[in-house]
Structure 1
């Protein structure tokens, strides 16, 4: 059997090699432990001596698909081997009716999208030995309503309501000498012109209209409008989105050796501190469906040797507004998690209005 792995290099496996390789990978996914030639020999569908199995294992090792973690130990799949298995040999299962219902419950009774997203991360965590992760690109949300609320002298609260029902606030300095009526006038003007736009789009709209309608607006009110949108746009550029993580404790279960524990701790640190996690949005937004990153393929979590199974969720205009999925050890149950992540992204996408 001649197959091509993710690097574009052809890998040629006959039926015997494929059966042995599959046993090594499936043993790793089930237990995390290496498997030896004697165990493989006993479980093969056709009779083959342990010595013959070792010869095949040597060939697989030469191809970079498996390795020996210790001298005279069994074999484990490499990251390249796992990628080859997922792309070429994995049979993705179907979700059961119960699993579909559990995922669909994400949408039931959710009073806002952020509530549904929190539930989605919990569901994904429950379906895996990893952590359920949801990333939202808050700067791409479309505006439904904006309001300026007076605070202390010289300060106002800018309240933005997005079309998904989420609410965010910013405090801004008011232009000196601003009349009390200007706050309401600015709110009315913005709501008349930027409804349905993103923050960045709103900024462009206001910049264009300011030239056309300069005489219709009081000078200080115009300044208030420009400052309000500018301060929100600048803050949104820095705040590239929000992160929801559930199931960190799953990552600590069944950790056997000290090295594995150190890798899990590294992953937990990554989840807590790396803003580069938001790069997952750009990694997934250009493709359709589920994306899989295994071990060293993923630069964000290369030290912890983790796998990511992610899928974007989109608004009715098919714009990517976030990404969700699973982060966990490389021995995730890919056959089960891939369809679960895909279906969860579909359910969440239906909630985006």
Structure 2
């Protein structure tokens, strides 16, 4: 390995690329709540049916990260960004012309899902390989792009939809999003090493009982985590809040997650990555209690998304660090791709099910209570894992890099 490049100025360019790539892809995906009402009304669809679009997108984003993470390990991250740019451009342009919700499942789900799978996990894995001493801070800054993208694009989506309609807004996002991904290509490159492709670590991860427990926990978390991204804006609008102001809630969620992504990354040395990771899941779960008692208070809803964002941002920022502490950074793209399939499964089930419960009960209280229960399960599954005195997971015997 060329150690002169590790933690160097060149390494920080990869952080910029990962920040922008994750920001535009996940920012577009997480702004779906702003489109929810307009698409549901145009197609005359129930909440559960419309929420399937987000469920499919999130599932594909997480599950396809297995493939894109491995592609990045083998062929480098630049080709992965090209694939993501094409997927976003074609998928959103096609979505802007769909005549049925079912076709939107395919165009939006595949287009944005593939783009997000290319723009997040592989890029974060690359950043992890460029750093040693400052890895936690670098990864935290890289994944902060998701929060900034959500903060900006959710209210922007609502404003554009009010002015131009949801179809033209998707055209704007198609061209703009693809352009940003292409601009990231010269900034990103393989981590310094001997130039050989990174090994596949699927077998190592699946053979690890600790990894399997963390994956099960992430599945339980995914059942609840993505429900507010789709429904908190609808909840607010049904209580008299304007569309842009409602979309700001998801933006605030993204903004607060930025602080925790960077903040928790910088606290790893002091408190330990796994200890902080478990605390973030507990914070995330507790936020649903705030939503449960929010009623029609916009101020309490803001508190809810602020707290949720802190827990969510820490979960995202710390996941790669927790896994690399346990299994090493070699082949990290394939390991993270496998891990992130778990919350993807949770999202595929959780958001449509939440919509069905809301349709059936005519309210949100049962959905919120179920989300709280799922987060409690996620925290419980982390109990008893091997943690060293510094608060990190103990390093596995088969760890590499």
User: Shorter-chain TM-score category?
Assistant: under 0.3
Using the size of structure 2 for normalisation, the TM-score is: 0.24
User: Could you say which structure has the higher helix fraction?
Assistant: 2
Q: Which has the higher contact order (CA 8 A, sep 6+)?
A: 2
Q: TM-score, with normalisation over the residues of structure 1? A: 0.26
Larger Rg: 1
